[in-house]
Amino acid sequence: MKDLKRALLLLTSISFYLIVPAQENTLPVREPDYNKPFLFEQLPQRILCSTDELQSLLQAQQGQAVNTDLALHFNFRGTVVSVADKYAGDLVSVTIRSSNYAGAVLNLARVRLSDGSIKFTGRIISLQHGDAFDLVQENNQYYFIKKGFYDLINE
């Protein structure tokens, strides 16, 4: 009878151990994949951008097809998927899904600052690729600067 009780206790303990694990083995954070292919390999590291082209993109309507030369030898085609105009035009943004750079999305915003000046911010990024472009202002000119995906995004 003692052996039967021990066997039942052992069987119950093993069943409980298998059904109710104390800890999960998976981490809640995804590890970066530094082996993603590059989408913008053929483009230079730094591209001077026309503010007139940026301004024209911000006037596009949702669903509209766009085809623009953001810079010399940098044609961007796609479809506008989102448009926002907030705070009486002080913040205008547009999101364009690219048709000539697979998986890439251009996020562009124009902010009117308290002194009346205008600042553009933006990124061209693809979740499937290891490179991206960040729009930066230097000496009153805007440049798309090539960066690594994980320099811009934390996973």
32-46, 91-105, 135-149, range with the lowest pLDDT: 32-46
2-17 confidence digits (pLDDT tens): 667 777 777 777 766 6
Give the span between the Cα atoms of 155 and 31, in whole angstroms.
7
The two structure tokens encoding residue 113: 């600052």
If you count them, how many residues does the chain have? 155
Q: Tell me, what DSSP letter sits at residue 38?
A: P
* Residue 149: predicted pLDDT: 84
112 — pLDDT class (breaks 50, 70, 90): very high
119 — pLDDT class (breaks 50, 70, 90): very high
Largest separation between any pair of C-alpha atoms in the chain: 90
Edge-to-edge, what's the strand order for the sheet holding 131-138?
46-49, 141-148, 131-138, 118-126, 104-112, 91-98, 74-86, 65-71
Helix (H, G, I), strand (E, B) or coil at 150: helix
Give the span between the Cα atoms of 3 and 72, in whole angstroms.
84
Residue with token string 């990024």: 125
Give the span between the Cα atoms of 79 and 75, in whole angstroms.
14
Percent of the chain with pLDDT over 90: 56
